[in-house]
């Protein structure tokens, strides 16, 4: 026994020493001091979209263009705040965000540079900043994910507001701290007014709606039968089905132009402080190319936003979703939404 301990200990010390002494496979990232970097030849991306989803596309971009890319992955909100804290000294050239709200925040703070028209014009006007400061790359629709054992499509209501009815008590879930819900709530504020929006969230809570910390947890809860339906983004269903092909879950879109049908975007902006703007623009154009767009359609089950591209056949086509008449850029009053949520949630 003591010998085994001793050997284990020796092995561990050896491993620890080796891991400190040996160079890492990618030689740049392990030094006690940051590596020197030639300006203007490397593209630095802050990505709020996870490596699991966008890593392959970025690797392909590097192979196709020969441009060296450094990606910092993180939480969209934390990265947006990081850029603001770093100010003009941010090493970031591109901010790739999971939702339009964070891009709107940076646009408002004046740290984004205008994008060229050929990039902006690749997508419909409703999916880009009217000032041309950011552009949507892929679309995500708000839907109701429902348990097909518990509900038929015909059981689901015609409007999002109908979930306040007593029959839905304790059966709905949502992710109130999630950025995609914040954007949706802002849309509700704009189309129905602050009071109606406040009454909606308060009503959901009073009706026993469960608060999940993220969309994927809400979809898993629907699949497990913990709740019957959840207000989420459309692609979480497919992520769940990939690991649980027999899960009894499906997506429901509201009829007509109900406010339940918002389409939000994941998109990017180029930092005004970047000294690699041409490379950054090349990257934006690449993400809006047919090959990258079909990656998003097929691998992440999002809506490709390049005009003329079709989404996965299992999705309701973008052209058939009657989004309420509002601009995504109208959704930049995140402050008002957070004040409202703060009042209702922090209780």
Partner 1 sequence: MTQRRFALILFAVSLPLAALLLLPVGYLIVRAGAVEPERAITYLTRPGTLRVAGRSLLLMATVAAAACAVAIPAAWLTVRSDLRGRRAWTVLLTMPLVIPSYVGALALVSALGQRGTVRGWLAPLGVERLPSLYGFWGAWLALTLFSYPYVFLSVRAGLRGLDPALEEASYTLGRSQLATFWHVTLRQLLPSISAGALLVALYTLSDFGAVAIMQYNVFTRAIYLRLSLDLELAALLSVVLIALTAGLLAAVALAERRGTYYTRRTPRPPRRVRLGRWQAAAQAFCGLVVLLALVAPMGVLALWLVNGLQQGEALRDVLAPLQRSLRAAGLAAAVSGVAALPFVFLQVRYPGPLTGLLARGAYLGYALPGVVVGLAFVFLGANVLHELGARVGQADYRSLGLLVFAYTVRFLPQALGPARASLLQVNPHLEESALTLGRSYPRALISVTLPLMRSGVLAGAALVFLTVMKELPITLLLAPTGYDTLATRIWSASSEAFYARAAAPALILVVISAVSLVYILEPDG
Considering only residues 23-52, where is the footprint of partner 1 by CB under 8 A? 24-26, 28-37, 39, 44, 50-52
Out of 9, 158, 169, 206, name the contact with partner 1 by CB under 8 A.
9
Residue 81 beta carbon to partner 1: minimum distance, rounded to whole angstroms: 6
By C-beta, is 164 or 227 nearer to partner 1?
A: 227
Residue 299 beta carbon to partner 1: minimum distance, rounded to whole angstroms: 11
By C-beta, is 106 or 119 nearer to partner 1?
A: 106
Q: How far is the first Cα of the chain from the last one, in angstroms, to the nearest whole number?
A: 56
Does 206 contact partner 1 by CB under 8 A? no
Residue 20 beta carbon to partner 1: minimum distance, rounded to whole angstroms: 5
By C-beta, is 29 or 206 nearer to partner 1?
A: 29
Stretch that binds partner 1, among 4-12, 113-121, 277-285, 318-326 (CB under 8 A): 4-12
Out of 14, 19, 169, 208, name the contact with partner 1 by CB under 8 A.
19
By C-beta, is 71 or 315 nearer to partner 1?
A: 71
By C-beta, is 219 or 265 nearer to partner 1?
A: 219
In angstroms, rounded to a whole number, what is the distance separating the alpha carbons of residues 249 and 265? 23
Between residue 61 and residue 120, which ones bind partner 1 under the rule CB under 8 A?
70-75, 77-78, 81-82, 84-87, 89-91, 101, 105
Between residue 133 and residue 172, which ones bind partner 1 under the rule CB under 8 A?
none
Does 15 contact partner 1 by CB under 8 A? yes
Q: Which of 228, 244, 283 is nearest to 236 (CA)?
A: 244
Residue 19 beta carbon to partner 1: minimum distance, rounded to whole angstroms: 5
Q: Return the residue matching tokens 């392990």.
A: 30
Does 179 contact partner 1 by CB under 8 A? yes
By C-beta, is 215 or 261 nearer to partner 1?
A: 215
In angstroms, rounded to a whole number, what is the distance separating the alpha carbons of residues 281 and 67? 12
CB atoms within 10 A of CB 196: 14
Q: Say if residues 309 and 290 touch (Cβ distance below 8 Å).
A: yes
User: How many residues contact partner 1, by CB under 8 A?
Assistant: 81
Stretch that binds partner 1, among 14-22, 117-125, 286-294, 317-325 (CB under 8 A): 14-22
Out of 41, 167, 177, 291, name the contact with partner 1 by CB under 8 A.
177
Out of 60, 65, 216, 289, name the contact with partner 1 by CB under 8 A.
216
3-state secondary structure the chain: CHHHHHHHHHHHHHHHHHHHHCCCCCCCCCCCCCCCCCCCCEEEEEECCCHHHHHHHHHHHHHHHCCEEEEEECCHHHHHHHHHHHHHHCCCCEEEECCHHHHHHHHHCCCEECCCHHHHCCCCHHHECCCCCEEEEEEEEEEEEEECCCCCHHHCCCCHHHHHCHHHCCCEEECCCCHHHHHHHHHHHHHHCHHHHHHHHHHHHHCCCEECCCHHHHHHHHHHCCCCEEEEECCHHHHHHHHCCCCCEEEECCCCCCHHHCEEEEEEEEECCCCCHHHHHHHHHHHCCHHHHHHHHHHCCCEECCCCCCCCCCCCCHHHCCCCCCCHHHHHCHHHHHHHHHHHHCC
Residue 91 beta carbon to partner 1: minimum distance, rounded to whole angstroms: 5
Contact track, partner 1, 252-291, x by CB under 8 A: ----------------------------------------
Beta bridge partners, 146, equal: 229, 250
Stretch that binds partner 1, among 130-138, 234-242, 277-285, 289-297 (CB under 8 A): 234-242
Residue 122 beta carbon to partner 1: minimum distance, rounded to whole angstroms: 25
Does 306 contact partner 1 by CB under 8 A? no
């Amino acid at each position: 026994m003591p010998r085994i301990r001793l050997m284990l200990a020796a092995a561990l010390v050896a491993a620890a020493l080796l891991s400190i002494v040996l160079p890492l496979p990618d030689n740049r990232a392990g030094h006690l001091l940051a590596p020197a970097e030639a300006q203007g030849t490397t593209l630095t991306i802050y990505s709020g979209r996870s490596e699991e989803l966008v890593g392959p596309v970025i690797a392909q971009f590097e192979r196709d263009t020969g441009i060296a890319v450094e990606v910092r992955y993180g939480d969209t909100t934390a990265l947006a705040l990081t850029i603001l804290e770093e100010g003009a000294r941010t090493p970031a050239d591109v901010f790739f965000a999971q939702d339009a709200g964070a891009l709107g925040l940076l646009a408002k703070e004046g740290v984004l540079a205008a994008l060229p028209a050929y990039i902006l014009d690749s997508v419909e006007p409703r999916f880009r900043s009217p000032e041309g400061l950011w552009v949507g790359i892929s679309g995500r629709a708000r839907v109701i994910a429902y348990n097909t054992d518990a509900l038929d499509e015909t059981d689901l209501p015609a409007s999002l507001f109908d979930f306040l009815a007593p029959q839905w008590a304790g059966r709905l879930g949502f992710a109130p701290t999630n950025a995609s819900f914040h954007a949706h709530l802002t849309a509700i504020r704009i189309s129905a007014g602050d009071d109606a929006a406040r009454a909606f969230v308060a009503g959901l809570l009073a009706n026993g709606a469960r608060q999940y910390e993220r969309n994927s947890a809400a979809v898993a809860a629907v699949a497990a039968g913990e709740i019957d339906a959840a207000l989420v983004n459309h692609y979480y269903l497919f992520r769940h089905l990939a690991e649980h092909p027999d899960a009894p879950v499906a997506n429901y879109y509201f009829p007509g132009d109900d406010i339940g049908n918002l389409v939000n975007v994941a998109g990017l902006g180029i930092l005004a402080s970047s000294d690699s703007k041409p490379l950054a623009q090349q990257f934006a154009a690449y993400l809006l190319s047919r090959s990258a767009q079909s990656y998003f359609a097929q691998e992440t089950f999002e809506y490709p936003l390049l005009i003329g591209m079709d989404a996965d056949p299992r999705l309701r086509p973008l052209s058939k979703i009657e989004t309420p008449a509002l601009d995504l850029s109208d959704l930049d009053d995140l402050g008002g939404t957070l004040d409202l949520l703060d009042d209702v949630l922090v209780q």
